[in-house]
Structure 1
Amino acid sequence: MLRPVAGLGAVSAVLIAITATLGVVSAWSTWNIYFLLERFFDDDLTVGAADLLAAKDTLFAVAWSRGGALVVTAVVFVVWLRRARLNSETICEVAHRRSRGWVVGSWVCPVVNLWFPYQVVSDVWKASNPDTPRRLETLQAERMAPLRFVSGSRHLGLWWGCWVAAFVIQQVAAVVTYEDKPTMEMTLVATIADTLTMFLLAVSGVLIILAVRQITRWQSPPRGVS
């Protein structure tokens, strides 16, 4: 019997949506601070230090909320993914590119977390797809002959592309804009980078929600595998 994934899939989708929404709110808060700073340095008498502190507190509150939501989302999603991985091994007797340990480890190990998670999710997708033959030699390399019968997902490729792009932008922006006394120009660059990062993460969130729902549909209700 296949393990139930519908409940975890639904909760994962809701949490991903909440986290993505908080990211959008975070981007808005960042722009709010930037515009307040711009007015403050232009000697706008309607903006004082108290306004800047209030905006900063709002940004910190949103950041902490998003951080907490991200942790909870990650835990629930990984639990769902592990259960879906076990089901996919029952549905389709294939060798996945990564062992079960990488379902969790792929997300936390430096360097390999840039592509291992995609491979794990992609193989679960392929093995869960009803159009995939039950018995293949391997799912290890797309150049291998058996995999010409396996249909992947462009949505998953775009999902991971957005995720990695957001990570790279965030890291580059942190290095480029780091200064003890940042200028307004550097603040603007950081704000734009943060907005782009949150936008990419939001798109990534929508795409992985679609993937979670599709894999869940394939694996629910339990079906025979004989």
Structure 2
Amino acid sequence: MLRNPLGLSYAVVALLAAIAVTDVFLFFSALHVWLLMAGRTDAAGFTHLGIDVTSVAGGLVGLACQVVFIIWFFRVRRNAQVFAPDLHRGGPGWAIGAWFVPIAHFWWPRSVAVGTWRASRRDPYGDGKGDGESFAVLNWWWALFILTALFGSFAGAVYEDADTVEEFTAGAGFLMGAAVVDIVAAVLAILFVRRLTSMQHAKATGMIPAAQ
């Protein structure tokens, strides 16, 4: 049975936008630390509070986004099963489970997304070229998702382990870079969610005949 993913997509998009906002605050908090450590302003009263607060806020928003995104992802995967059941490896449950398999979570959810995207196109068995349904958005989203996960962890570790002025300067610089990458990843995720939801909505409402 098809279920409308529009409502969930709005929630996912709102949370992704909130992540981008916390990243903006993180960027400027890290910039403040970088300027202090570089001696460009008075370093008296140096504090990690700005970075700590934005990191906690970002973590909470990120956790909420992960939960709602996975629920949305499961719903669009189940819809894809109706559109073209022969285009998938494994059942819809892997739209949830694939995220929690060690190591494999670096590529398995993308495989689920590819099958879902293909099944949601006008012609599930065509090449999808020239009609706005190519895998470009999906591939860029996934590439930035992996990059921000790895680079964000690295930047956080460098900053947390810093003891000297040079190390704090480097750590703050890495945090600024990680924030920028995460903002780009959030924008691409929004495009991915909106596009896939639109494809499914169009197909399910009869604007484009679903595959039988």
Percent identity (aligned): 25
**C-alpha spacing 1:199/1:99, structure 2 compared with 1 (3 Å):** farther
TM-score for both structures, normalised by structure 1? 0.78
Query: Counterpart in 1 of 2:14?
Result: 14
Would the aligned equivalents of 1:98 and 1:119 in 2 still touch at CA under 8 Å?
no
- Cα deviation for residue 72 of structure 1 reads 0.9
- 1:37-186 matches, cutoff 5 A: 37-39=37-39, 46-49=42-45, 52-53=46-47, 56-133=48-125, 149-151=126-128, 152-173=134-155, 179=161, 182-186=163-167
Aligned to 2:89, the other structure's residue is in SS state coil
Would the aligned equivalents of 1:8 and 1:76 in 2 still touch at CA under 8 Å?
yes
Describe the superposition over 1:56-86 as per-residue Cα deviations: whole angstroms up to 9, x where unpaired. 2222221111111111111111111111100
- Cα deviation for residue 47 of structure 1 reads 4.5
Structure-1 separation of matches of 2:51 and 2:113? 33
**C-alpha spacing 1:155/1:113, structure 2 compared with 1 (3 Å):** same
- Cα deviation for residue 29 of structure 1 reads 0.7
Structure-2 separation of matches of 1:66 and 1:178? 16
Structure-1 separation of matches of 2:180 and 2:77? 29
What is the identity, as a one-letter code, of the residue corresponding to 1:25? Answer: F
Would the aligned equivalents of 2:81 and 2:92 in 1 still touch at CA under 8 Å?
no
Gaps of 5+ in 2: 129-133
- Cα deviation for residue 89 of structure 1 reads 0.9
TM-score for both structures, normalised by structure 2? 0.83
Aligned to 1:100, the other structure's residue is in SS state coil
Structure-2 separation of matches of 1:127 and 1:4? 16
Aligned to 2:85, the other structure's residue is in SS state coil
**C-alpha spacing 1:174/1:21, structure 2 compared with 1 (3 Å):** closer
CA-based RMSD of the aligned residues comes to: 2.4
Query: Counterpart in 1 of 2:131?
Result: none
**C-alpha spacing 1:202/1:173, structure 2 compared with 1 (3 Å):** closer
Q: How many residues align?
A: 202
Structure-1 separation of matches of 2:195 and 2:142? 17
Query: Counterpart in 1 of 2:29?
Result: 29
Structure-2 separation of matches of 1:75 and 1:34? 33
Moved more, 214-223 or 80-89: 214-223
Does residue 205 (structure 1) correspond to residue 186 (structure 2)? The answer is yes
- Cα deviation for residue 212 of structure 1 reads 1.1
Moved more, 57-66 or 214-223: 214-223
Structure-2 separation of matches of 1:95 and 1:38? 55
Structure-2 separation of matches of 1:129 and 1:157? 16
**C-alpha spacing 1:70/1:94, structure 2 compared with 1 (3 Å):** same
